[in-house]
Amino acid sequence: MVTTPTHPAHPLGLALHHIDHGYAIGGTDTPVLDDISLTIAPGEFVALLGPSGCGKSTLLRLIAGLEPPRAGTILAEGTPITGPGPDRIVMFQDPTLYPWRTVRGNVALGHDIAGRKDPASVDAAIELVGLKGFERAWPHQLSGGMAQRAALARALVNDPRLLILDEPLGKLDSLTRLTMQTELQRLWRDRGFTAIMVTHDVEEALLLATRIIVFSPRPARIIGDLPIDLPPHRHRDDPRLLDLRKNILTQLGHSADW
- Residues that bind another protein in the complex, under the rule CB under 8 A: 64-66, 84-86, 88-90, 92, 94, 96, 98-102, 109-110, 112-114, 138, 140, 154, 158, 164
The minimum distance between CB 151 and another protein, in angstroms, equals 8
Cβ distance to another protein smaller for residue 17 or 61: 61
d(Cα 36, Cα 53) in Å, to the nearest integer? 16
Integer Cα distance of 229 and 238 in angstroms:
13
CB of residue 99 to another protein, shortest distance in Å: 6
- Closest separation in Å from C-beta 82 to another protein: 12
Measure Cα distances from 91 to 42, 173, 202, 227, 247 in Å.
19, 18, 19, 24, 28
Q: How far is the CB of 90 from another protein (least distance, A)?
A: 5
Q: Which is nearer to another protein, 60 or 213 (CB)?
A: 60
The β-bridge partners of 17 are: 73
Which residues 6+ apart lie within 8 Å of 159 measured at CB?
Answer: 7, 191
Looking at the Cβ atoms of 96 and 179, the one nearer to another protein is: 96
Closest approach, Cβ 28 to another protein, in A, equals 22
Q: How far apart are CA 131 and CA 113, in angstroms?
A: 22
What is the nearest approach in angstroms of another protein to the Cβ of residue 3?
Answer: 26
Of the two residues 195 and 248, which places its CB atom closer to another protein in the complex?
195
Nearer to another protein, 101 or 186 (CB): 101
Task: Name the nearest CA neighbour of 22 among 70, 65, 83.
Answer: 70
Residue closer to another protein by CB (options 66, 178) is 66
- Range list of β-strands (E), the chain: 14-25, 28-40, 45-49, 71-76, 79-80, 88-91, 162-166, 194-199, 211-215, 222-227
Question: What one-letter code names the amino acid at 244?
Answer: L
